Amino acid sequence: MNRLVFWVPAFAFISVSTARGIVLSVEPASPVRGEVAAIRVFGDATADTSLAAREAARTGWKVYVEYFPNSKVARDDTLGVTGPAGEVFWEPAFAGIVAVRAIRKKEGGSPEQLATNVSVRFPSVPAGGVLVFLTAGFVLLGGAGWAFVHLLEHKPPGEGRSEPEA
């Protein structure tokens, strides 16, 4: 029982799947904004099924992406439906956290869902980010250095410091 308590929360944050034996994968694992990435739905390799059954398991998944999930500026996009190869190609429009979902409706039942989160990287180092970093470092460390210099410098009585009255 103790092992179950540890593993359930750990796997709850990795991915969500209501489809047994089917995996949602994004390749590369951390795509770059503006470059094409492949989103693949594939069956478990250890399952003992025929080629036709594996193709049927990969076909018909409607794939969605949500940029900046759980925020006020979240944006949704529908990518398409997977074919027999079980893949959809995607060119990320924004850098940041992206929630990828694949949903397939079953006849007479609740829909199956696969989900995972990926981090989309910037194609290069953002110049604005570097400028903000350097400015913040200058203000914070420069201000601290200035304060220490003025705190530790020797000043004779009557030149800037108030002396206690006796």
**Which CATH number does the domain housing residue 104 bear?**
2.60.40.10
The reply to whether 153 and 87 lie within a common domain is no
- Higher-pLDDT residue of 14 and 20 is 20
Q: CA separation (Å) from 109 to 63, 71, 82, 103, 148?
A: 19, 31, 20, 13, 69
The reply to whether 140 and 71 lie within a common domain is no
Calculate the CA dihedral of residues 11, 17, 18, 19 and round it to 10 degrees. -130
Range of the domain at 161: 125-166
Task: In whole angstroms, give the CA distance from residue 160 to residue 145.
Answer: 19
**Structurally, how many domains does the chain consist of?**
2
160 band by pLDDT with thresholds 50, 70 and 90: low
pLDDT on residue 118: 94
Tens digits of residue pLDDT in 87-119: 899 999 999 999 999 998 878 888 888 899 999
- The count of residues in the chain is 166
Among residues 84, 88, 96, 80, the alpha carbon closest in space to that of 30 is found at: 96
The reply to whether 18 and 80 lie within a common domain is yes
Note the Cα 115 to chain centre separation in Å.
12
The reply to whether 114 and 162 lie within a common domain is no
Task: In whole angstroms, give the CA distance from residue 6 to residue 3.
Answer: 5
Query: Is 60 exceeded by the pLDDT of residue 84?
Result: yes
Calculate the CA dihedral of residues 14, 2, 22, 119 and round it to 10 degrees. 10
The reply to whether 29 and 103 lie within a common domain is yes
Tens digits of residue pLDDT in 124-149: 988 898 999 999 999 999 888 888 88
Q: Is the pTM of this model over 0.85?
A: no
Which tokens hold the place of 153? 């410098």
